[in-house]
Amino acid sequence: MTSVLESLDVTIDGAQLLGELRTALTRYVVLPSPEAADAVVLWITATHAAQAWNCAPRLDVTSPVKRCGKSRLLDVIEATCHKPLITVNISPAALVRSIGADPPTLLLDEADTVFGPKAGDNHEDLRGILNAGHTRNRPYIRWDVASRTTEHCPTFAMAALAGIGALPDTITDRALVVAMRRRAPGETVARYRDRRDGEPLRALGARLGDWVSLHLDELRDAEPDMPVEDRAADTWEPLFAIAGLAGGDWPARAAAAALALTAEDDTDTTLGGRLLADLRDIFGDQDAMHGHIILGELHKIGEAPWGDYFGKPLGARDLAKLLKPYGVRACDVKIAGDTKRGYRREHLHEAWTCYLPPAGGGSATSATSATSQVSEGAPVAGSTSDVLPATSPMPLTSLVAQVADVAHTPGRACPEAAAPVTGDHAPLIETRPCEVCAGAMAVVEPGQRCHPNCDLSGGWPEGSIGEGTRQ
């Protein structure tokens, strides 16, 4: 016998339903961008299919100051999401005992009072539960004195947190971050009154739930193509599954939202990450630097914390301590006959590659993928090959060189031999005898060394490069 929901499925247009939710959302709230609005719509819809997901993405609604629409956004989310559990504070014990096989959607307002700097480390247990609850099968285990047994409490649940300022990195790394702002002159929204507006929104949320419940198995098995990787892919996968189910232009909108909202999260924002970025700028094309020179240059960066690092300028021991987790250690460096403790580019290169986006933009992963595709002669979307004329005389190795800041490691063999580029449009290159094969070695850019005769049996020698000449 056909159920009521199955008969309704024939008349449900998923793309239209998401469009209705987006219209309702933007009626009451000004979102920072169209992509942010699409992301919130997909996230709300995904709460109705929490049982289908392996990861439960967090929604971090933040703003620099008050009166930016965070609480109003939570009002709309509460009315349209699945089983809302809204609070301004909750104990770890209460939270885990509120989660079951069909978990609620946790909505935490005023999150800055829980995780902000004034709260200190008073809520580390709650933060740990929120982090664990991003992935299924991460229970909260406690000893029950009365029954003398362990109690396994589930933590998996969708969660939205709203507050002023940034949340801890471990939470935002698992979240869609929507940075709210105050309305500009001319931007208007309808006033929200729960007595008048709540019921229509709840009816819309019920329709979303009815639609999604018909496709839980399909959503559980979905493996959508993702434009992001690693934890970002885990976080965004439920939203892409919903977009794929809805069809229409929603898959493209989901991709645009993912790229827009993750663009600012591609860099390590810790002190160590900031230090790596500043060191890359300071080193420029130098192969090595003495420690006291590095510290002097760091102290000159006015907007950085290095000139006043916990009340005093960053010192040699502080520098070593910050770099140690990245596997970078000081060594004896000889420059112009003067040997002092310092750092070498080859020791920092791996940390720069793994923890920072390439200096020219993009992600290290995408650049590495582009290198492999170019070297095989295939076109790469968004790469230099897309904008070069089909009859371009530029050889293949020139394309490789443009992504070599990720693929090439100083001190190792050049990945591909090539003759220098010649002609009116040839780049300025430098030459000197190669110490591996004694042939002429061309330097297209600092750190990108290629020449035609070497059998690549050895590594590149260290040292200075000769005067620049145009071939």
Quote the tokens at residue 19: 């469009």
CA distance 349 to 377: 27
Of the residues 204, 235, 264, which one is the last residue of a structural domain?
Answer: 264
H/E element, 19: helix 14-28
Torsion on CA atoms 452, 454, 460, 466, rounded to nearest 10 = -50
Residues 362 and 348 in one domain: no
Cα–Cα distance, 52 to 49 (Å, whole number): 5
For the chain, how long is the longest CA-to-CA vector? 89
List, in order, residues 6 or more apart from 222 with CB less than 8 Å away: 237, 240, 241, 244, 245
Helix (H, G, I), strand (E, B) or coil at 417: coil
**Same structural domain for residues 208 and 294?**
no
Given 221, 241, 264, the domain boundary residue is 264
Pairing mode, strands 338-344 and 288-290: antiparallel
Below-70 pLDDT ranges, the chain: 1-10, 117-121, 263-269, 360-471
Which H or E run contains 335? strand 331-335
Residue bearing tokens 């599954």:
241
User: What is the per-residue pLDDT across 354-410, written as a single tens digit (0 to 9) for each?
Assistant: 888 777 654 433 333 332 333 333 333 333 333 333 333 333 333 333 333 333 334
CA separation for the pair 175, 56 (Å, rounded): 9
326 and 433 part of one domain: no
- What is the rounded distance in angstroms from the CA atom of residue 323 to the CA atom of residue 393? 43
- Residue 232 and residue 341 in one domain: no
Q: What is the pLDDT of residue 107?
A: 95
CA atoms of 363 and 417, how far apart (whole Å):
26
Task: For residue 198, give the DSSP letter.
Answer: I
Alpha-helical runs (H) found in 300-420: 316-323, 345-355, 364-375, 384-387, 396-402, 404-407
Closest C-alpha among 189, 129, 192 to residue 161: 129
Residue range(s) defining the domain that contains residue 35: 4-264
Residue 312: in which H helix or E strand, if any?
none
| d(C-alpha 463, C-alpha 469), whole Å | 18
Same domain for 429 and 377: no
E strand or H helix at 4, and its extent? helix 4-9
Give the number of residues written for the chain.
471
Last residue of a domain, one of 407, 429, 444: 407
- Shared domain for 214 and 236, answered yes or no, is yes
Number of domains in the chain: 4
Tokens 């609620």 belong to which residue? Answer: 104
Q: How far apart are CA 244 and CA 239, in angstroms?
A: 9
If asked whether residues 21 and 137 sit together in one domain, one would say: yes
* CATH code of residue 130: 3.40.50
Q: Looking at residue 311, which CATH number applies to its domain? A: 1.10.10
Query: Which pLDDT score, from 0 to 100, does residue 360 have?
Result: 61
Give yes or no: residues 180 and 326 share one domain: no
**Same-domain status, 75 and 211:** yes
Pairing assessment for the beta strands 338-344 and 440-445 based on DSSP bridges: unpaired
Do 128 and 190 fall within a single domain?
Answer: yes
For residue 10, the model assigns a pLDDT of: 56
- What span, in angstroms and rounded, lies between the C-alpha atoms of 274 and 356? 9
The letter for the amino acid at 208 is L
| 334 and 430 belong to one structural domain | no
Q: Are residues 107 and 222 both part of a single domain?
A: yes
